[in-house]
Amino acid sequence: MRSVITGTGIGLPPHVVTNEALSKLMDTSDEWIRVRSGIQERRYAEPGQGSTDLGVIAARNAMADAGLTTGDIDAVVFATMTPDRMLPGNGPLLQAALGLRDIPTFDIRQQCSGFLYGLELADLFIQSGRYRRVLLVGAEVHTPFMPWHLGWDTLIGQSTRAITEAERAENTLSRDRTVLFGDGAGAVVIEGREEPAGLGPIRLHTDGTGAEVLTMRGVSFKRRPFVTLEQIQAGETLPVMSGKEVFKAAVTLMPQAVREVCDAAGVAVESLDLVLIHQANLRIIEGVQKALGLPPEKVPHNIERYGNTTAATLPILFHECRAQGLVRPGMNVVFTALGSGLHWGAALYRT
């Protein structure tokens, strides 16, 4: 039995926010963002729109693409680091919104590697014979992390008022992170089939000694209460990142993981057809591509349009590659990601 991706779908929020628009809110520029990250624009959710809402749109599209209805799904895996609620997770909320049967839903985190970890779970579920059709969703709404309290109205085109100097100074404090992230969702339907195509090998890694390089300390059940107004005011509810350390880990460990799955499959790296890399920074994507000695056309990217959507980057990218006819039968496609945890890994997928 092989785990085959039979449907893909995406759910993108309505507001397109350019670098130029962000530069009106804080001390940044289109040039800085493009040169350092490759990002040109990103999508922002509507106020009140959560990662479950975007996940539901993506999931509906993926099920329709697979030719399945809600009654066909046997299990859900929902990867997000920006859930609608602390509890319950997005899984049950999505199940209710879609009207799925009372099937099990699994909420996982793993941040930027969430989709990759979800592929592993879905594949193990299918290989074990436990579930036949798994819906895997990666969805994020990062905008509530962004600490500017004033300026949303101008960003989403609802006001043309000027930002005050005080607002601009406050927004600038977090510019090294906020300009990188966007909102979005991607979903895939994975089905057990008796055919040569399918997922595997998959290799996953965690190194918790790297937890501090990308983390959020402000909301914690080690504290009583777990969040206070002072923490919010001190900006502790915003993730902190040592960008350079994450960058170095990404360009070293993702190529290693890609080589691991290729070795395990007996496939030469040069003979890979597509390598889909977590979309965190165009310079990271190009670094991994060069480390693997692959031509740029085998490493497509869409970070220009969406920024970093954490657990959603890989399913959105895979969906767009399929839609553009880049994914054809008989190809060797690799997914790879690295992010907070540190969690990283790679998955080979024979189409």
Q: Which residues are catalytic?
A: 112, 278, 308
Which residue type, as a one-letter code, is found at position 58? A
Is residue 112 near ligand UT7 by the rule CB under 6 A?
Answer: yes
d(C-alpha 134, C-alpha 194), whole Å? 16
Closer residue to ligand UT7 in complex, CB, 66/139: 139
263 binds ligand UT7 (CB under 6 A): no
- What residue type is assigned to position 89 of the chain? G
Residue 32 interacting with ligand UT7 (CB under 6 A): yes
What's the min distance (Å) between Cβ of 79 and ligand UT7? 13
Binding of ligand UT7 at residue 207 (CB under 6 A)?
A: no
**302 burial via Cβ count (<10 Å: 0-12, 13-18, 19+):** middle
- The three-class DSSP label of residue 22 is helix
CA 218 – CA 253 distance, rounded (Å): 28
Q: How far is the CB of 126 from ligand UT7 (least distance, A)?
A: 28
CB of 59 to ligand UT7, least distance (A): 23
Number of residues that bind ligand UT7 (CB under 6 A): 20
Least distance to ligand UT7 from the beta carbon of 135, Å? Answer: 24
Q: Which residue is nearest to ligand UT7 (CB)?
A: 243
Q: Does 51 bind ligand UT7 (CB under 6 A)?
A: no
Buried b (16+ CB within 10 A) or exposed e, 45-80: beeebbbbbbbbbbbbbbbebbebeeebbbbbbbbb
Report the candidate in 143, 173, 168 with the shortest Cα–Cα distance to residue 233: 173
**Residue pointed to by tokens 């080979």:** 348
- Applying the rule CB under 6 A, the residues between 233 and 262 that interact with ligand UT7 are 243-244, 246-247, 250
36 forms part of the interface with ligand UT7 (CB under 6 A): yes
- Residue nearer to ligand UT7 on the CB measure, 78 or 247: 247
213 binds ligand UT7 (CB under 6 A): no
Q: What are phi and psi of 340, to 5 degrees?
A: -45, 135
**Rounded CA gap, 74 and 104, in Å?**
8
Residue numbers of the site for ligand UT7 (CB under 6 A)?
28, 32-33, 36-37, 112, 175-176, 179, 214, 243-244, 246-247, 250, 280-281, 284, 308, 339
